[in-house]
Amino acid sequence: MTKDIFEEEKIRLTPESGFGLVGIDYFAEQGSQLYLVEHFERYQDALNAKKDRKNQEEYFILYKGTGNEFFCR
């Protein structure tokens, strides 16, 4: 995943609190390739949901840090 391509989408989909499990639709138009799968209050729940996916590399977790910085795992 190229950071530059998805940066604006990641910022838009990052929740104010908790953790967002996000998927990638490679066939969608650029600028709308990321979509929210589910929101979780706990990181471990989001991680477990990602691990349950068939193609884990097509999903990642978005969240804000304590300084309002954006994180993607």
70 close to 61: Cβ distance less than 8 angstroms: no
| pLDDT of res. 49 | 97
Domain count, the chain: 1
Residue 61 confidence (pLDDT) above 90 = yes
* DSSP classification of residue 62: E
pLDDT, position 31: 86
Contact 24, 1 (CB under 8 A): yes
Tokens 């990642």 label which residue?
60
pLDDT in tens, 2-58: 456 788 899 999 999 999 999 999 899 988 999 999 999 999 999 999 999 999 999
24 in Cβ contact with 33 (< 8 Å): yes
Residue 1, pLDDT > 90, answer no
Question: What pLDDT is stored for residue 4 in this prediction?
Answer: 63
Q: What is the pLDDT of residue 51?
A: 96
For the beta sheet containing 70-72, the strands, ordered from the edge strand earlier in sequence to the opposite edge, are: 34-40, 19-24, 59-64, 70-72
